[in-house]
Amino acid sequence: MAYPVRDSTSISIDDGTVTVRGWVQEIRNLGGISFILIRDRNGIIQITAPKKKINPDLFKQLTSLSRESVVSVSGEVKTSDQTKLGLEIIPLSLEIHSVAESPLPLGVVDKVNVEFDTRLNHRFMDLRKPEVKAIFELKSLLCKLISEKMAELDFMQVQTPKIVATGAEGGATLFPIEYFDKKAYLAQSPQLYKQMLMSTGMDRVYEIAPAFRAERSNTVRHVSEFISFDGELAWIRSQKDVMAVIEEVMQYTISGIASRGTKYLEVIGAEVTIPKAPYPILSYSECLDMLMGEGMEISEGEDFGTEGERLIGEIMSLRGNDMYWIVEYPKAEKPFYIMEKEGTAFSYSFDLDYRGQEISSGGQREHRYERLVTRMKAKGLNPESFGPYLESFRYGMPPHGGWGIGVERLLVNMLGLNNIREAILFPRDVHRLIP
């Protein structure tokens, strides 16, 4: 039997009565009548208990429930113009699954301002707030949209190891771990493995997986564990082929969030604007000029830094561009696996910035063994510690390129959130290992 209550997984119909299962969000006792709000994943429904019309024991039980207790309430559904949903339930029976203690460590509906740290300390409770949970519904949708588009573009989804023997992104941010009698690390990125896959004939791969960085800097955009959406593709003619794929995926996912995520965007109060495409391409030196023009002290070869990126973002917003590429970075700034632009100080690399924040780095990789080894040495790395990686370049490696995109950075900038931790269920940083 179809029942027009709501799109809920926790409501069931049995002979004209319904059962809702959820958390007791609020109880309002007005003497002769009581209202109990039950919250589940999909929303809130009101239980209306008129004292005279229902069983006295049931009334007593209902009105003495503690906030956030978990219950099932069965009853009759009635239309109501007093509730947001347009429906209410007149209770017939109650089952208490779990009684919540009082006081609560954190209010779910209280409008008082709570420190973010307090929210994170009691994250399970914080996640009960519809506006917090909605971020993760959208993150889930975002990953689904990415996978949809990548499948359409014929990319294989892969999984590479997160326990590794060598770092790919520099020693400073490696997390060492004990691995039996050997030293190992948590993977900073799937870089080496996705490149090795290019030598196998799996010529388009992607991965959505955790990446670990021992980031000591305490910023709103760095954490120790984030989700990286990585892609690598072979047979590219230049980094432009890689950029084209990213642009297509970004436009698809952002439009998808705007059109399929409306229910959650409303809860958060966020509006998603679809970036203007094609994304403009700025060169590193153009950006330097922009920054100098703004009076920033920065010299050739230097990283723009957070402030620089933010300023460039402001200028680009004024031009109507939320998303833009920055290319032609000095090769000294880029990792060993990036291809150099011969005879210049530049590399075939790009960053993708979204409203003043880097969300992705990528480029064409050096696929020629000798040059790769030369580049490694120039970066002060020992090729011997990259043995298994390098081997895959010695027996046939196609030209290739790829990227890494921080999923949380993408989401946070899309939704206008101000801290990357808002988009991580249980964030990890220098100061936080629990919960």
Q: Does 223 bind ligand ATP (CB under 6 A)?
A: yes
128, 213, 355, 367: the catalytic one is: 213
E strand spans, 65-112: 70-79, 87-98
Q: Does 333 bind ligand ATP (CB under 6 A)?
A: no
Q: Give 325-361 as a DSSP string.
A: EEE--BGGGS-TTBPB-TTSSBBSEEEEEETTEEEEE
- Closest separation between CB of residue 188 and ligand ATP, Å? 7
What token pair was written down for 429? 């940083």
Q: Does 404 bind ligand ATP (CB under 6 A)?
A: yes
68, 88, 215, 309: the catalytic one is: 215
Instruction: Give the range of 10-18, 265-273, 359-367, 417-425 binding Mg ion by CB under 5 A.
Output: 359-367
The residue nearest ligand ATP at its CB is: 406
Q: Does 409 bind ligand ATP (CB under 6 A)?
A: yes
Looking at 34, 46, 48, 228, which residue binds ligand ATP (CB under 6 A)?
228
What token pair was written down for 278? 């094609």
| Footprint on residues 96-115 left by ligand ATP (CB under 6 A) | none
Decide if 428 contacts 224 (C-beta within 8 A): yes
Q: Does 215 bind ligand ATP (CB under 6 A)?
A: yes
- State which residue, 54 or 223, has the beta carbon closest to ligand ATP: 223
- State which residue, 228 or 321, has the beta carbon closest to ligand ATP: 228
361 is catalytic: yes
Q: Does 361 bind Mg ion (CB under 5 A)?
A: yes
Q: Does 25 bind Mg ion (CB under 5 A)?
A: no
- State which residue, 282 or 420, has the beta carbon closest to ligand ATP: 420
One-letter amino acid of 243: M
- Coil, helix or strand for 212? strand
Decide if 209 contacts 159 (C-beta within 8 A): yes
- Closest separation between CB of residue 187 and ligand ATP, Å? 12
Q: Which residues contact 380 (CB under 8 A, 6 or more apart)?
A: none
| Footprint on residues 337-396 left by ligand ATP (CB under 6 A) | 358-361
- Coil, helix or strand for 126? helix
Instruction: Give the range of 50-58, 176-184, 374-382, 399-407 binding ligand ATP by CB under 6 A.
Output: 399-407
- State which residue, 193 or 226, has the beta carbon closest to ligand ATP: 226
Q: Does 308 bind ligand ATP (CB under 6 A)?
A: no
CA distance 89 to 20: 9
Q: Does 326 bind ligand ATP (CB under 6 A)?
A: no
- Following CA atoms 384, 389, 393, 396 in sequence, which dihedral angle do they give, to the nearest 10 degrees? 140
358 is catalytic: yes
Q: Does 213 bind ligand ATP (CB under 6 A)?
A: yes
CA distance 220 to 175: 20
Please tell me the number of Cα atoms within 13 Å of 160 on its side-chain side. 26
- State which residue, 261 or 404, has the beta carbon closest to Mg ion: 404
Decide if 46 contacts 89 (C-beta within 8 A): yes
- Coil, helix or strand for 3? coil
221 is catalytic: yes
199, 224, 347, 361: the catalytic one is: 361
- Coil, helix or strand for 7? coil
Token look-up 């072979």 returns 234
Cis before residue 427, ω within 30 degrees of 0?
no
Token look-up 């009548």 returns 33
Would you tell me which residues interact with ligand ATP (CB under 6 A)? 169, 213, 215, 222-223, 226, 228, 358-361, 404-406, 409, 420
Could you give the residue numbers annotated as active site? Answer: 213, 215, 221-222, 358, 361, 409
Would you tell me which residues interact with Mg ion (CB under 5 A)? 361
